[in-house]
Amino acid sequence: MSQDNEEHSTVSYVMGSLSSVPIEHLNLSIRPRNALLRAGLKTALDIQRLIEKNTLSSIYNIGSLAVQEIEECLSSMLENQGIELSVSEIALPDNEERKSTVIPTVSFFDDLPVDILVQELSNDMIHRLKSAGFESIGELLNLSRAVESFIENTSTTLDRLINHQKDILRALIAREKLHPQAQYRNMSIKSWLNLAPENTNEQGEFLKLLLQINESHSLSEELSILFAKVAERDLDIYIKYFNDNLTLAQVGRQQGVTRERVRQITSKTATRLWARINQNPGLYLQSALLVAKDMGDNLSLKSWRLALQNRNIIDSSRPARENLDSFDALCALLRSADKAKYPPTIKIDESVTFILESPSDLSLGLIKAIEEMSSKAKRKMHQKISYMGGIHLSEASETLDVSPQQAAYILKHLGYKEVDHDWYTIATAENTTRWPILKAGLAMMEVCGPLEFSVFCDGTRRYISRFYDILAPPRVMKAHIEALGFEVEDDYVSWNETPTGYLAESDKCFVQVVEKHGTVVTFQEVVEFFQEKGFSIATATARVLPQSPIVEKVETGLYKIRGRNHTWEDIENARSRQDPIDYDPEVVYGIDGLIRYKITIGSWALNGVLSISSNQPQLPDLGDGWEIFVENKSRGIAKRDEHLIWGLGSAFNALGVQIGDRVELAFDAWEKPLIRISKT
């Protein structure tokens, strides 16, 4: 057999093999397969002829990605059948070339039904023709003549095709499905729409570009085509590493491979994916990134996903691959960009990178607000919650200097939970070991045992009174102390066991006073005992009696341990032990601007401590203390609280004050605040 005959035989064999393979057997994705069938192609041979003529992309809805997929599927089919093409093309011999047939103007075929073409067309095509209203061959001939006329007028045809593609782009931009600043070949879509090539060659090239631009219909479709060529196991490893926040070692243990193998697979997959992206327009990927950039400080993963779904850039009903959400695929793809060997040609804004790396779903603006928030503001908010048991949203907003909505996000981000009507408190007891309410509560549990909730809150309120006047509402307080580890049942607060080591030394001193004198003790007994134990009067009067959580006030001047029962007899016994307070107090406001306080000294006052009657006129607030003078000589500093004035001992000694003496304290606030003491 001659060489020509052998070559012809080989070609005929390959042609025969291709002609026996229906398009449906090429394992194409739905879109290119349907586009080929709608164009009247039926077999692999029909496709090969168009490939050899480089006209496959001229079919409607067949762009560069689809051409690449079709060629890969055809090549895979040939390999599976053991066919190797030894010639550069599959062509019919000259005597077998199809000759074009001129459509006659009059035809006896006109009245024949379209069903007669079932062998030439597929059943699906016949059905679509009839659904479109084509019942006879004559109607198809008229359509063919119109199409032929359309094709023959090349210049007009190209203009119409170009304008049609432009209209598609304009509609996509108007619906915000495509971003006008998305680029192809270093020009934005908006710039492409303004181009108007004049000669036929330029028009043809321009049309091809527009067809490539309009090739995909959504980001979901772009991602579906992109991920279709990745092996299932490689994709699973890739997604777990870049989207599930697992380490290389964790993914390796799940997949039964080494950490290094996971690194190799993720790097290889990232490189392959980004290489394909760089070869294609990727307009929907660009649009998604530009939408994120436009969102500014409102950008978060949640808001970005929603924006892409609302614009139909992402089709929520179409996964990038089975069991792979399109948005999750997008995030994994972007996180892997810096692992690809070839850097992405598509610009990824730093704001997108920032939220992809953020451990929370806060918006970009809130993340910035948290980062820029002063440590002083954070400490102040933490302090309020630790002392008051919770914080109201309006107060948190004012403290943090952000809007209430931002404050709500920040509170949740910092680990606080909303309990009741914009009130927030801690969710767990982490990092709360030094919190005031916990310390006060454990001190009460150590001395007082289980307490009624209201009594527990009163003790806590006394403990924080130096800094804050109120606690959070009851429901918030219950949530707070339960988070701290206390149990609240039947309106009683308890601890799982009796704690030890939480009492301050001054609190222990108060317990000793009670053990010495009985259930109810007097103000004087507490002060005297504290002085005996080496504590200052201020410790007793300004720290323990008004602020200790274990102290409960019975009535004026009488105190007991919180929660302990007392009787009328206990109160009477305490009253009987009280020394008479300083006799005949008198306050005189002089025309010279001085306030004169005159008293008769009792036994308890000899050490320089005066009791202040609650029903007498108000004396000056001494602040950090006023200097005392006796006959123009300084005798120390006097201080006071609501019950006492102390620090007068040196002055009394200098004057030789005895029980029954009448003493005057002249408060002078004109220039330098001072007190002049004298006997009257």
Query: pLDDT for 458-470, tens place per residue?
Result: 999 999 998 898 9
Candidates 271, 315, 268, 314; CA nearest to 291 is 314
DSSP 402: S
- Write the pLDDT tens digit of every residue in 633-666: 999 999 887 778 888 988 998 999 887 889 999 9
- Say yes or no: 306 and 324 in one domain: yes
pLDDT band at 352 (very low <50, low <70, confident <90, very high): very high
- Residues 656, 558 within the same domain: no
Q: Does residue 352 form part of some domain?
A: yes
The CATH number that applies at residue 595 is 2.40.330.10
Any domain includes 197: no
Residue 386 pLDDT: 93
Same-domain status, 572 and 592 = no
Say yes or no: 318 and 226 in one domain: yes
Is residue 4 scored above 60 in pLDDT?
A: no
- The C-alpha torsion from 169 through 172 and 177 to 179, rounded to 10°, is 40
- Domain coverage including residue 495: 437-448+479-577
The count of residues in the chain is 680
| Average pLDDT of the chain, as a whole number | 84
Q: Note whether 573 and 588 are same-domain residues.
A: no
* Number of domains the chain is built from: 4
Local confidence band at 69 (pLDDT 50, 70, 90 cut-offs): confident
Which pLDDT value is given to residue 428? Answer: 87
What percentage of the chain carries pLDDT values higher than 70?
A: 90
**pLDDT over 90 at 365, yes or no:** no
Amino acid, single-letter form, for residue 558: L
Q: Is residue 644 part of a domain?
A: yes
Candidate from 184-198, 323-337, 467-481, 518-532 with smallest mean pLDDT:
184-198
pLDDT score at 466:
86
C-alpha 526/C-alpha 545 separation (Å) is 9
**Domain end residue (candidates: 534, 557, 577):** 577
Q: Which helix (H) or strand (E) holds 517?
A: helix 505-517
| 671 in any annotated domain | yes
**pLDDT (0 to 100) of residue 105:** 45
Per-residue confidence (pLDDT) for residue 150, from 0 to 100: 64
Nearest-angstrom CA–CA distance, 571 and 41: 107
Residues above pLDDT 90, as percent of the chain: 34
Mean pLDDT of 604-615: 74
pLDDT at 614: 64
Mean pLDDT of 431-447: 91
Unique residue bearing structure tokens 């599959």: 90
Same domain, 353 and 225: yes
pLDDT at 94: 42
Of 543, 577, 611, at which residue does a domain stop? 577
Q: Whole-model pTM?
A: 0.50
pLDDT in tens, 122-174: 888 888 888 888 888 888 888 877 777 666 665 577 788 888 888 888 888 89
User: Does one domain contain both 550 and 669?
Assistant: no
Q: What is the pLDDT of residue 97?
A: 43
pLDDT, tens digit, 9 for 90 and up, residues 7-21? 444 455 556 667 778
pLDDT at 604: 67
The better pLDDT of the pair 258, 358 is held by: 258
Q: Per-residue pLDDT for 441 more than 90?
A: yes
Residue 302 lies in a domain: yes
Calpha distance 564→520 (Å, rounded)? 10
pLDDT at 87 over 60: no
Give the pLDDT of residue 241.
92
Residue 610 — very low, low, confident or very high, per pLDDT cuts 50/70/90? confident
What is the crossing angle of helices 505-517 and 436-447, to 10°? 30
228 lies in the same domain as 355: yes
The pLDDT value recorded for residue 582 is 53
Mean of the pLDDT values across residues 170-195? Answer: 87
User: Is residue 560 domain-shared with residue 444, that is, in the same domain?
Assistant: yes
Strand partners, 675: 628, 667
The mean per-residue pLDDT over the stretch 382-397 comes to 93
| 261 located within any domain | yes
Predicted confidence (pLDDT) per residue in 573-590, tens digit = 988 887 555 567 888 888
Q: Dihedral of CA 270/272/274/275: which sign?
A: positive
Q: Are 511 and 624 found together in one domain?
A: no
Task: Map 348-389 to HEC letters.
Answer: CCHHHHHHHHCCCCCCHHHHHHHHHCCHHHHHHHHHHHHHHC
pLDDT band of residue 237 (cuts 50, 70, 90) is: very high
Between these two residues, 350 and 54, which has the higher pLDDT value? 350
pLDDT of 270 > 90? The answer is: yes
Pair 514, 618 in one domain: no
Q: Which residue has the higher pLDDT, 454 or 199?
A: 454
Other residues' Cβ atoms within 10 Å of the Cβ of residue 376: 9
Please report the pLDDT score of residue 88 as a whole number: 40
Within-domain flag for 618: yes
Question: Residues 534, 597: one domain?
Answer: no
Average pLDDT of the segment spanning 65-87: 72
Give the C-alpha separation, 672 to 207, whole Å. Answer: 93
Which residues pair with residue 280 across a beta bridge? none
Residue 373 maps to a domain:
no
pLDDT in tens, 193-234: 888 877 777 777 777 777 777 777 889 988 988 888 888 899
**Local confidence band at 438 (pLDDT 50, 70, 90 cut-offs):** very high
Of the residues 318, 341, 362, which one is the last residue of a structural domain?
362
Higher pLDDT, residue 155 or 552? 552
228, containing H or E segment: none
Which pLDDT score, from 0 to 100, does residue 90 have? Answer: 45
pLDDT at 47 over 60: yes
Handedness of CA 397, 399, 400, 402 (dihedral sign): positive
Instruction: Kindly report, residue by residue over 322-347, the tens digit of the pLDDT.
Output: 778 899 999 999 999 999 888 888 88
What's at 298, amino acid-wise?
N
